[in-house]
Amino acid sequence: MTDVLIAGSGPTGLTLACDLARRGIGVRVIEERAAPHRESRGKGLTPGSLKTFGELGAAERLTAVGRRETVLRKYFDGAHVSDTAVSDGLLIGQWQVEEALRDRLAELGVRVEYGAPLTALAQDGTGVDAELADGTVIRARHLAGCDGGRSTTRGLLGIRFEGYTAPEQAMVLGDVRAPGLSRDFWHQWFTSDGGGILLCPMPGTDTFQLQAPPEPDERGEPLPPSVESFQRLFDRHARMPGIRLAEAGWLSFWRVNVRMADRMREGRVFLAGDAAHVHPIAGGLGMNTGVEDAVALARTLAAALTGSAGDDVLDAYEAERLPAAAAVLADTAQRHDRVLAAVRTPGRGTEAGLG
Ligand SMILES: Cc1cc2nc3c(=O)[nH]c(=O)nc-3n(C[C@H](O)[C@H](O)[C@H](O)COP(=O)(O)OP(=O)(O)OC[C@H]3O[C@@H](n4cnc5c(N)ncnc54)[C@H](O)[C@@H]3O)c2cc1C
């Protein structure tokens, strides 16, 4: 029997897997995707996450590629109004974070099992039976649901995900190439009509992460993300006619979600990361909060699996992380409001969400 089965190989699941494996605890990681992705997604590591990755032996490969100082260049109605240097943490794509953790995990002897979605679970006094889509059943002493905002684990446990989902899309997103655009700045163009577009140069690539309020169609409905729509938004807000955008693999959209699980443990099964809490991206805390969850869960599981204290220690994880998740939800909602207020004027930009 495996000690811990982890569903999901995002930053949370991989951090947990590395932390357990380095303690000599038996781990398997199952992942719904058929293969790793290369999406920039969460792109900021806090000093706390970097410290954790240092302890896990995965930080050097990230600091070798990532950017310690990023200059946020704000433009308002086409005019350059400010440059703000931010040097608290590391700018790096989420796929690169996952790659570094996967490489470290492989060194510790564990490989992610792809094309293996969790579909059902049952638990008893000694373990959990986790069923995959192909009918395979894996028995483990504990299961960690690190399977993202739409968590199957959470659904199977019947854990409520209380909160708010905005009816409208807030942003379209994507990874794009923009030949000729300086890679020395995170460009942030805002316009007095309330629109804007942000292009962040992603380290170790020739791409930018693009974020923008979506372009409305003739009925005012948001158009889906596409490189053609990105180009029209860019022309309108950045006003740099020489720059032509080209798609680089990832197109998505994002809406405000402020939700958290009403509990993070049901018997031998735990939730961590986006599976337990989702919140606005202002301040860049989503992935980092998942990393903190993973560290706390590894500590709790290690105490239960290697100590003599018995299963009572399993309560420690939720006692620590449920209040932390509630605090992050409240904090990021305020950061989100500060950013929205700041970008409507020529003054501050998205750095209003950092402090
Ligand atoms: C534009 C953008 C910018 C962001 N910026 C930041 C930032 O700067 N800093 C930050 O900290 N966060 C940021 N975030 C948030 C961050 O991306 C998420 O919080 C983070 O991905 C959560 O990690 P996770 O491992 O909990 O979940 P996920 O990354 O969602 O990983 C879950 C994994 O589980 C897998 N899975 C799903 N269902 C199953 C199943 N049934 N069985 C097995 N596997 C399954 C999925 O395929 C996936 O690989 C940003 C997000 C976006 C979109």
pLDDT tens across 199-225, in order?
Answer: 999 999 999 999 999 999 999 899 999
Distance 91 CA to ligand 1 centre (A): 16
Distance 78 CA to ligand 1 centre (A): 33
Distance 227 CA to ligand 1 centre (A): 23
The HSE-up count of residue 143 (CA atoms within 13 Å, CB side) is: 30
Instruction: Tell me which of 94, 172, 332 to substitute to probe ligand 1's pocket, judged by most ligand atoms within 8 Å of the beta carbon.
Output: 94
Across the range 278-290, mean pLDDT stands at 85
pLDDT in tens, 4-45: 999 999 999 999 999 999 999 999 999 999 999 999 999 999
Distance 149 CA to ligand 1 centre (A): 7
The CATH architecture of the domain made up of 2-67+93-166+257-340 is: 3-Layer(bba) Sandwich (3.50)
Give the residue extent of every domain in the chain: 2-67+93-166+257-340, 171-255
Confidence class for position 193, pLDDT limits 50, 70, 90: confident
- The protein residue with its alpha carbon nearest to ligand 1, atom 37, reads 147
Q: Which residues are CB-neighbours of 149 under 8 A, at least 6 positions away? A: 257, 274, 275, 278
- Whole-angstrom CA distances from 99 to 17, 39, 51 are 13, 11, 17
- As a whole number of angstroms, the distance between CA 77 and CA 82 comes to 13
- Whole-angstrom CA distances from 112 to 8, 20, 99, 251 are 9, 14, 11, 25
Of all atoms in ligand 1, which is nearest to the CA of residue 274? 26
Whether ligand 1 lies within 6 angstroms of the CB of 146 is answered as yes
Given a cut of 70, whether residue 328 has pLDDT beyond it is yes
Third-level CATH fold of 171-255? Alpha-Beta Plaits (3.30.70)
Given a cut of 70, whether residue 348 has pLDDT beyond it is no
Percentage of the chain surpassing pLDDT 70? 97
Average pLDDT of every residue of the chain: 93
pTM: 0.95
* pLDDT on residue 327: 92
Instruction: Tell me which of 6, 16, 32 to substitute to probe ligand 1's pocket, judged by most ligand atoms within 8 Å of the beta carbon.
Output: 32
Of all atoms in ligand 1, which is nearest to the CA of residue 287? 11
* pLDDT on residue 332: 78
Confidence class for position 281, pLDDT limits 50, 70, 90: confident
* pLDDT on residue 340: 72
3-class state of residue 167 by DSSP: coil
3-class state of residue 311 by DSSP: helix
Between residues 167 and 64, which one has the greater pLDDT?
64
- Least confident interval from 45-49, 155-159, 257-261, 348-352: 348-352
Confidence class for position 334, pLDDT limits 50, 70, 90: confident
Query: Helix-strand-coil percent breakdown of the chain, rounded to 5?
Result: 35, 30, 40
Distance 276 CA to ligand 1 centre (A): 11
Whether ligand 1 lies within 6 angstroms of the CB of 15 is answered as no
- As a whole number of angstroms, the distance between CA 99 and CA 102 comes to 5
Given a cut of 80, whether residue 115 has pLDDT beyond it is yes
The HSE-up count of residue 145 (CA atoms within 13 Å, CB side) is: 32
Confidence class for position 194, pLDDT limits 50, 70, 90: confident
**Helix-then-strand count for the chain, H and E:** 8, 19
Whether ligand 1 lies within 6 angstroms of the CB of 43 is answered as yes
